[in-house]
Chain A
């Protein structure tokens, strides 16, 4: 009877005994098993990312999008450089100079050099070579060509006349005074020199009769201290200002060749790593620094906050046993991978120590190189499950851990070419690409990616200079 296959399959239409376990209870267990082994997918599930990059992308997105933004930033940077190097328009200050000079030309001498002068302090020695003329706050160095020279003033230079006014002018004027009578005086030739203006044809009205009170001497021409607001340049504003024999100080007691400044900026960027997707970072900082007008360099420190995105994953090889539907008894095995991907958000408190050096200045634009160490102190980390795939149970064959541990303290070294546009004497706008080297690797040596991370980003902010 049973020597051949006569397997019995009961007729489902005939009926079966009442199961000892209710159908509801049995289905609940079956549903749990199905949820574990055959999870229901969303209606239109997004394609899961590659296991090697389960949660990367960052603020800029990954791949082509990131590089498009990077190329865009590079184009903007190159345009700024081109603008600096080809800045041939006359700066605003040159117009002011001309206007001022023209005003000077149209003003009688008595109103400019004489009216406020104190006769007692102004004496002309017709045989002298040079003398400082003081008229109120006006100081002029007048050099006489020699005995017999005409009483003609030929100023050679006037520094930064942009803000010249009656009460706040210190000008270095080297006139040639002919040994002639005052009636024979000729208009002086005043050469105004500034980095953007050179006026050589300025011939003011002859000095009035009061000019004969100017005392000329052969004393050497002293250097002239030029106020800051007459000087050009960015933070320092000292570019063409000669130093006096003694260090002058500002009203606050700060040496005049030093200036405090404050820098407020924000930054965005990405941590890039070979064989990993880039991770975004973003933040802001407030720094204060001291700028040396003499060295065209500065040092600054402050406090910043930085947020980092990151990701990790754990891939587990699972072996599941199953029985084929059309064979009997033989156990077959299927190996699969269970992936659990995580997202991280880290927050760091950052303390930078930057030194800066101005390497290029043209008009209102300047280029600094800023570099220095930054210490980052982790203040919070948040881990969340991004997604998981694969069976929850089965025989575990092996695990690939790509879930890395970050260090609590991160030492960085940043190199920042800083493009600065001086809005006015005090305020500047900056845009700075940055390169960040993570000196101790962002991750713990016991659990870190194979390749070292590097950061690239952009700073943007404002610099305010205190007098």
Chain B
């Protein structure tokens, strides 16, 4: 998967923190120091915003999910164990959970249609495999919110159908229906709108 083109990438350059700096920032966040929290927030902001934007068409909702997630990051940063993984991955998971929670609270996932037939293998093919960020967002915006969320979790975030079913409190058949629906819609879109 191509993440982004050069023109679309924020060159992290000097923003990439050294290990010593990150350690100090974490310690500052544990002391609830605003300056450290701002440094960490600005450091992770592009990646986490990109994550949230996958779930929401609306920028405001995306930022709300991001800030809700970062609030949990700052609240629970004392529980972060560097031995278990990078801080960004830990924060990424928290923000993604926040986005899912926001989706649930908006009640946009209520759907009763299910697929009970055997899943075709083609369902697993990732329609976003060769897309760039702008194209991903372009096509995601064409999907209904619930289908977009399921599609994002499955194709872009790597969640299994069972996991999505548990997280969104939907049946696996419903998840499969959303995935099938997304593929159908995207297939039509791909034929009408060539990829840039």
Is B53 touching A15 in the complex (CB atoms < 8 A)? no
Taking CB atoms, residues of chain B closer than 8 Å to A12 are: 12, 16, 44, 47, 88
Question: Hey, what's the 0/1 contact readout for B45-71 against A, CB within 8 Å counting as 1?
Answer: 111011101000001001100110011
In the bound complex, residues from chain A placing their C-beta under 8 Å from that of B8 are 17-18
Within the complex, which residue of A6, A9, A18, A37 is in contact with B89, where a contact is CB–CB below 8 Å? A9
Asked if B139 CB lies within 8 Å of chain A CBs, one says: no
Question: Is A33 in the interface zone, CB < 8 Å from B?
Answer: yes
Encoded as 1 (CB less than 8 Å from any A CB) or 0, chain B from 68 to 95 comes to 0011111110011000000011101110
Q: How far is the CA of A3 from the CA of B41 in the complex (A)?
A: 33
The reply to whether the CB of B134 lies closer than 8 angstroms to some CB of chain A is: yes
Nearest chain A CB to B173's CB is how many angstroms away?
Answer: 16
- A323: chain B residues within 8 A (beta carbon): 72, 94, 97-98, 101
What residues of chain A lie closer than 8 Å to B12, measured between beta carbons?
12-13, 15
B29 to chain A, nearest CB (A): 10
Interface membership of A246, Cβ < 8 A:
no
With A and B bound together, what is the CA distance between A34 and B166 in angstroms?
30
> What is the number of residues of chain A that contact chain B, defined by CB distance less than 8 Å?
41
Known: A30-B41, A37-B71. A18 touches B101 (CB 8 A): no
**Is the CB of B108 closer than 8 A to any CB of chain A?**
no
- Nearest opposing residue in chain B for A327, CB measure: B97
Are B46 and A328 touching (Cβ within 8 A)? no
The interface size of chain B toward A, counting residues with CB under 8 Å, comes to: 65
* A325 and B79 in contact, given A15-B4, A37-B71 (Cβ under 8 angstroms): yes
The dominant DSSP class at the A interface is loop
B118 at the interface (CB under 8 A from A): no
B79 close to A19 (CB less than 8 A)? no
Cβ 8 A contact of A326, one of B4, B42, B79, B159:
B79
- A322 within 8 A of partner (CB): yes
In the assembled complex, A82 has its CB within 8 A of some CB on chain B: no
Given A7-B159, A20-B53, verify A322-B75 contact (CB < 8 Å). Answer: yes
Contacts of B163 in A (CB 8 A): 5, 328
For residue B147, which residues in chain A have a CB less than 8 angstroms away from its CB? none
Given contacts A17-B46, A29-B63, contact A4 B160 (CB under 8 A): yes
Query: Inside 8 A of B37's CB, which chain A residues have their CB?
Result: 30, 34
Given the complex of chains A and B, what is the CA–CA distance between A3 and B162 in angstroms? Answer: 8
Q: Please provide the chain A residues from 17 to 73 with a CB less than 8 Å away from any CB of chain B in the complex.
A: 17-21, 23, 26-27, 29-31, 33-34, 37-38, 40-41
Query: Of A15, A21, A33, A41, which is within 8 A of B9 by CB?
Result: A15
Contacts of B79 in A (CB 8 A): 325-326
Cα–Cα, bound, A13→B11 (Å): 9
Judge whether B32 is part of the interface by a CB distance below 8 angstroms: yes
Interface residues of A in 325-360 (CB under 8 A from B): 325-329, 331
Q: Is B100 in the interface zone, CB < 8 Å from A?
A: yes
Contact residues of B between 137 and 191, Cβ < 8 Å to A: 137, 154, 156-163, 166-169
B residues lining the A interface (CB < 8 Å) = 3-4, 8-12, 16, 32-34, 37-38, 41-42, 44-47, 49-51, 53, 59, 62-63, 66-67, 70-76, 79-80, 88-90, 92-94, 97-98, 100-101, 104, 124, 133-134, 137, 154, 156-163, 166-169
Interface residues of A, Cβ cutoff 8 Å to B = 1-10, 12-21, 23, 26-27, 29-31, 33-34, 37-38, 40-41, 322-329, 331
* Interchain residue pairs with CB less than 8 A apart (22): A4-B160, A5-B163, A7-B157, A10-B50, A15-B4, A15-B11, A17-B8, A18-B10, A21-B59, A30-B71, A34-B74, A38-B74, A323-B97, A325-B79, A328-B97, A328-B166, A328-B167, A329-B100, A329-B101, A329-B167, A329-B169, A331-B101
